[in-house]
A and B are shown apart, each in its own frame.
Chain A
Amino acid sequence: MTTVIMRTTARAVVPIIFVVAASLFIEGHNLPGGGFIAGVLTTTAFAIIYLTFGLDFLERAVLGRDVDPGKEPARDRVVVAYHRLFAFGLTVAVGSGLVPLLFGRPFLTQTFVELEGVPIYHHLEIASALAFDFGVYCVVVGGLLTILSVVGAE
Chain B
Amino acid sequence: MDPELPIVLLAVGLPFAVAGVTPLLFRALGERTGYAGSVVALVCFGLLGSQYGSEGTVELEWIPSLAVALRFHVDGWALLFALLASGIGTLIFLYSPAYMHDESGLARFYAALLAFMGSIIGVALAADLISIFLFWELTSLCSFVLIGHYTEEDESQYAARMAMLVTVGGGLFLLVGFLLLSLVAGDVVGPASAFDLAAMLERPDELQTALRERGLFVPVLGLVAVGAGAKSAQVPLHFWLPNAMAAPTPVSAFLHSATMVKVGVYFVGRVRPMLVSLEWLLLFATVGLVTMTVCALLAVAATDIKELLAYSTASHLGLMIAGFGFTTVLGAETGVFHLLNHALFKAALFLVAGIVAHETGTRRIADLGGLRHDLPFTAAITAVVALSMAGIPPFSGFYSKELLFEAALEASHVYDIGVLGWLYPAVAVFASVFTVVYSLRFLALFVGDRPAGYSHVHRPSLTLLVPPALLALLTAVISVDPELAVRAIVQSGVDATAVDTHEMHVGIPTSYSPAVGMSAVAIAGGILAFPVYGTLHDGIRAIPRTAPPVGANWWYDAVVGNLTGSGRWLATRVHNGLLRTYATWTLATTCALTLAGFAATATVVPAELIGLDADPAIALVLAVAVVAGLAVVLASTHVAGVLTLSILGFMVAIFYILASAPDLALTQLVVETLVLVIFLLVIEEIPEYYEVGLGKVARDGVLSLAVGATAFVTVLVTTDARPDGTTEIARYYTERAVPEGGGTNVVNVILVDFRGFDTLGELVVVALAAISILTLIIMRSGGAGGDEE
A interface residues with partner B (beta carbon < 8 Å): 24, 28-37, 40-41, 43-44, 47-48, 50-51, 72-74, 82-83, 86-87, 89-90, 93-94, 97, 107-108, 110-112, 114, 125, 127, 129, 132-133, 135-136, 139-140, 142-144, 146-148, 150-152, 154
Report how far A127 CA is from B737 CA in the complex, Å.
Answer: 12
CA distance A100 to B671 in the complex (A): 33
Q: Tell me the total A-B contact number using a CB cutoff of 8 A.
A: 151
Q: Is the CB of B681 within 8 A of A151?
A: yes
Question: Complex formed: what's the CA distance from A154 to B766 in Å?
Answer: 20
Q: Which residues of B contact A97 (CB under 8 A)?
A: 756, 760
Q: Is B777 an interface residue (CB 8 A)?
A: yes
The contact of A34 among B663, B682, B769, B774, by CB within 8 Å, is B663
Q: Which residues of A contact B773 (CB under 8 A)?
A: 146-147, 150-151
Q: Which residues of B contact A132 (CB under 8 A)?
A: 752, 756, 759
State in angstroms the CA–CA spacing of A34 and B745 once bound together: 9
Are A37 and B666 closer than 8 Å at their CB atoms? yes
Given A33-B745, A133-B752, residue A87 in contact with residue B767 (CB < 8 A)? yes
**Distance between Cα atoms of A97 and B678 in the complex (Å):** 33
* Contact A129 B766, beta carbon cutoff 8 Å: no
3 closest A-B pairs (Cβ-Cβ)?
A112-B742, A29-B743, A143-B770
- Main secondary structure, interface of B, reads helix
Docked pose: A144 CA to B766 CA in angstroms: 8
Tell me the complex Cα distance, A31–B743, Å: 8
Give CA–CA (A20, B160) in the complex, Å: 65
Give Cα A147–Cα B757 distance, bound, in whole angstroms: 24
Q: Is B626 an interface position by the 8 A CB rule?
A: no
**Nearest neighbor of A106 in chain B, beta-carbon distance:** B757
Question: Provided the pairs A34-B752, A110-B753 are in contact, do residues A40 and B667 lie with their beta carbons within 8 angstroms?
Answer: yes
Would you call A139 and B763 a contact (CB within 8 A)? yes
Q: Is the CB of A108 within 8 A of B756?
A: yes
B53 at the interface (CB under 8 A from A): no
Shortest distance in angstroms between A101's beta carbon and chain B's nearest beta carbon? 14
Interchain CA distance A120-B115 in the complex, whole Å: 71
Q: Is the CB of A136 within 8 A of B752?
A: yes
Contact of A48 with B677 at beta-carbon distance under 8 Å, contacts A37-B667, A143-B769 already known? yes
- Give CA–CA (A134, B737) in the complex, Å: 20
Pick the contact of A74 from B667, B743, B753, B778 — CB < 8 Å?
B778
A51 touches B666 (CB 8 A): no
B763 touches A28 (CB 8 A): no
Most chain A CB atoms below 10 A, which of B681, B743, B749, B769: B743
CB distance from A110 to the nearest CB of B (A): 4
Most B CB contacts (10 A, CB to CB) among A32, A33, A94, A151 go to A32
User: Among B670, B681, B752, B760, which residue has its beta carbon within 8 angstroms of that of A44?
Assistant: B670
A90 touches which of B666, B743, B756, B764 (Cβ 8 Å): B764
Q: How far is the CB of A95 from chain B (nearest CB, A)?
A: 11
* Contact status B667-A36, CB under 8 Å: yes
* Partner pick for A108 among B757, B766, B778, B781, CB 8 A cutoff: B757
Tell me which of B678, B741, B747 contacts A129 (CB under 8 A): B741
Question: In the bound complex, do residue B677 and residue A47 qualify as a contact, i.e. CB atoms below 8 Å apart?
Answer: yes
Q: Which B residue sits closest to A107, measured CB to CB? A: B757
CB–CB A154/B777 < 8 A: yes
Q: Is B673 an interface residue when CB atoms closer than 8 A count as contact?
A: yes
Q: Complex Cα distance A154/B777, Å?
A: 9
Cβ contacts under 8 Å, A154 to chain B: 685, 777
13 pairs of residues in contact across A and B, judged by CB atoms under 8 Å? A29-B743, A29-B748, A33-B748, A34-B748, A51-B680, A74-B777, A108-B756, A108-B760, A110-B752, A112-B741, A142-B767, A143-B770, A152-B681
Contact of A44 with B741 in the complex, beta carbons under 8 Å: no
A148 to B673, CA, bound (A): 14
Contact A32-B763, Cβ < 8 Å, known A51-B681, A110-B756, A144-B674: no
Number of interface residues of B (CB under 8 A): 42
Q: In the complex, which residues of chain A have a beta carbon less than 8 angstroms from the beta carbon of B781?
A: 72, 74
* Docked pose: A43 CA to B681 CA in angstroms: 14
Inter-chain CA distance A24–B757, complex, in Å, is 22
CA of A41 to CA of B673, assembled, Å:
9
What residues on B are CB-neighbors of A72 within 8 Å?
778, 781
Across the two chains, which residue of chain A brings its CB closest to B670?
A40
Q: For residue B532, give the distance in angstroms from its CB to the closest CB of chain A.
A: 78
Any chain A CB within 8 A of the CB of B751? yes
Verify A136–B681 contact, CB threshold 8 A.
Answer: no
When distances are taken between beta carbons in the complex, the residues of chain B under 8 Å from A150 are: 773-774, 777
The CA of A72 and the CA of B677, in the complex, are separated in Å by 23
A145 to B770, CA, bound (A): 9
**Closest B residue by C-beta to A129:** B752
Instruction: Give the Cβ gap from B743 to chain A, nearest Cβ, in Å.
Output: 4
The answer to the question of B461 belonging to the interface, with a C-beta cut-off of 8 Å to chain A, is no
Which A residues are CB-close (under 8 A) to B393? none
Contact among A43, A86, A89 with B674 in the assembled complex (CB-CB below 8 Å): A43
Q: Does B566 contact A (CB under 8 A)?
A: no
Contact with A along B662-676 (1 / 0, CB 8 A): 110111001101100
Within 8 A of A (CB), among B642-661: none
B581 part of interface (Cβ distance < 8 Å): no
B586 lies within 8 A of chain A by Cβ: no
Contact call A129/B753, Cβ cutoff below 8 A: yes
A37–B748 CA distance with the chains assembled, in angstroms: 11
Chain A residues with CB under 8 Å of B753's CB are 110, 127, 129
**Cβ of A82 to closest chain B Cβ, rounded Å:** 8
Flag whether B744 is at the interface (Cβ < 8 A).
yes
Query: In the bound complex, what is the Cα–Cα distance between A86 and B743 (angstroms)?
Result: 26
The reply to whether A125 and B745 form a contact with Cβ atoms under 8 Å apart is: no
Tell me the complex Cα distance, A41–B668, Å: 11
Chain B residue nearest in CB terms to A42: B670
Residue of A nearest to B663 (CB): A32
Cβ A83 vs Cβ B770 within 8 A: yes
Min distance, Cβ A46 to any Cβ of chain B, angstroms: 10
* Min C-beta distance of B169 to chain A, whole Å: 41
For the complex, what is the distance from the CA of A151 to the CA of B776, rounded to whole Å? 11
CB-CB < 8 A to B685: which residues of A? 154
Known pairs A83-B771, A86-B770, A129-B742; list 8 more (Cβ under 8 Å).
A40-B674, A72-B781, A89-B763, A108-B757, A110-B752, A127-B743, A132-B756, A154-B685
- Tell me how far the C-beta of A53 lies from the nearest C-beta in chain B, rounded to whole angstroms: 14
Question: A148: which B residues are within 8 A, CB to CB?
Answer: 678, 681
Q: Which chain B residues border A142 with CB–CB below 8 Å?
A: 767, 770
Q: Inside 8 A of A93's CB, which chain B residues have their CB?
A: 760, 763
Whose C-beta in chain A lies nearest to the C-beta of B748? A34
Instruction: Please determine whether B670 and A30 come into contact, CB atoms closer than 8 angstroms.
Output: no
Give the residue name and chain of the B residue nearest to A87 (CB): B767
A129 and B769 in contact, given A33-B666, A93-B763, A144-B674 (Cβ under 8 angstroms) = no
Chain A residues with CB under 8 Å of B677's CB are 44, 47-48, 51
Closest chain-A Cβ to B429's Cβ sits at a distance in Å of: 69
Report Cα–Cα, A46/B578, bound state, in Å. 32
The CB with the most chain A CB atoms within 10 A, among B665, B673, B752, is that of: B752
Given A29-B749, A44-B674, A133-B752; A140-B766 close (CB under 8 Å): yes
Q: Which residue of A lies closest to B684 (CB)?
A: A1
Selected from B748, B774, B778, the residue in CB contact (under 8 A) with A28 is: B748
Contact of A136 among B678, B763, B777 (CB under 8 A): B763
Quick check: B748 and A139 within 8 Å, CB to CB? Answer: no
Q: Find the residue from B677, B741, B748 having the highest chain A CB count within 10 A.
A: B748
Q: Assess whether B674 is in contact with A47, with CB atoms less than 8 Å apart.
A: yes
Q: How far does the alpha carbon of A51 sit from the alpha carbon of B764 in the complex, in Å?
A: 28
B752 contacts across to A, CB distance below 8 A: 29, 34-35, 110, 129, 132-133, 136
From residue A14, how far is it (CB to closest CB) to chain B in Å? 13
Q: How far is the CA of A89 from the CA of B770 in the complex (A)?
A: 13
- Contact of A30 with B744 in the complex, beta carbons under 8 Å: yes
Residues of the A chain whose Cβ atoms lie less than 8 Å from the Cβ of B678:
47, 148, 151
Q: In the assembly, what is the distance between CA of A133 and CA of B769, in Å?
A: 20
| Minimal beta-carbon separation of A42 from chain B (angstroms) | 10
Shortest beta-carbon distance, B385 to chain A, in Å?
Answer: 62
A138 to B485, CA, bound (A): 73
Write the chain A residue with the least CB distance to B681. Answer: A152
List the A side residues contacting B741 at CB < 8 Å. 29, 110, 112, 127, 129
